Chain A
Amino acid sequence: MRAAVVTFPGSNCDRDLRVAMESVFGVPVRALWHGERDLPKLDLVALPGGFSYGDYLRAGAIAARSPIMAEIVRFARRGGLVLGICNGFQILTEAGLLPGALVRNRGLRFLCRTVDLEVTTTASPFTAAYGEVRHIRLPIAHHDGNYVIDQDGLARLEGEGQIAFRYRDNPNGSTAAIAGVLNRERNVLGLMPHPERAADPRLGNTDGVPLFRSLLEAVHGAGS
């Protein structure tokens, strides 16, 4: 598995994400700076949570136009796996790799708690390893997690099975309680919850592990 995590100015979950990925993948995960213009040979690029550029203009808007993103868009169009968590999800929508947008939580509050989620599809390289497990719990920590998409867009997401995760008790006003979406080709996933914060038994929750195991199996085959 050749994987990398991108650090933007203001990212703050980049190290946690690398540690979680390394523990599941069993190999080192590269750290990439947002200013780089070339990607090494990779199977997976992950965009971490945080507050890139202080959320100026719109959350993720400035990061989505940083030099490395042009390369990541090309990488995704060639079929490379791209994962965006929290601010990473916001960046992926701003970069046009995922449909919809993320706006201020309906209740206006920053939300930091563990929530119940439904794994809405296991037909993806990010969710296959959840298997029969359809109800998981993951932490959220965001101010702009309210997923917005118009009716036509929502119908397309539902028709193509692109909704990866839904909140069981919608905390932020997201359209159709959407917590995570796939692109049409299913090689890009963005989600607001933090699987990397639920990937170590010492922290009391490992519901994030199957997401990373899915990616490992997608790249190396099941049983890896």
Chain B
Amino acid sequence: MKARIEIRLKPGVLDPEAAAIERALRQLGFAGLKGVARAKVIEVELEARGPEEAEAELRAMCERLLANPVIETYAIALLR
């Protein structure tokens, strides 16, 4: 089974890299630009008996290593 985990900073945690990207886009003249956010994507392949077991396993991976709950949130999408 494959899954896609998206990790992003919680609202309110300043992301200086996203701010720098936004400034650069503005400099290029994208006047309608309203905001930029950045996320990390981690793709995982795993063996599981079903989607529920896979999701529980993936959630444990996020809680124990992939995301830092102090500053980040995560979203899990099972691909197949």
Contact = CB atoms under 8 A, between A and B. Distances in A.
Contacts of A94: 68
Interface string B59-70: 000001110101
A65 B66 CA distance: 11
Nearest to A60: B68
A1 interface: no
A28 interface: no
The prevalent SS among residues of A at the interface is: loop
Interface residues of B, number: 14
Classify chain A: how many residues form its interface, as a range. 20 to 34
B20 A108 contact: yes
B16 interface: yes
Interface string A30-73: 00000000000000000000000000011001100100000000
Contacts, number: 38
Interface of B: 9, 12-17, 20, 64-66, 68, 70-71
A61 B62 CA distance: 12
A149 interface: yes
Interface string A100-119: 11011111100000000000
Given A57-B65, A57-B66, A148 B17 contact: no
A171 interface: no
Contacts of A93: 70
A173 interface: yes
Counting chain A CB atoms within 10 Å of each CB, the highest count among B9, B14, B68 belongs to B68
B20 to A, nearest CB: 6
A100 B70 CA distance: 6
B68 A104 contact: no
A99 B68 CA distance: 12
Q: Which one of B9, B64, B65 has the greatest number of beta carbons of chain A within 10 Å?
A: B65
A101 B71 contact: yes
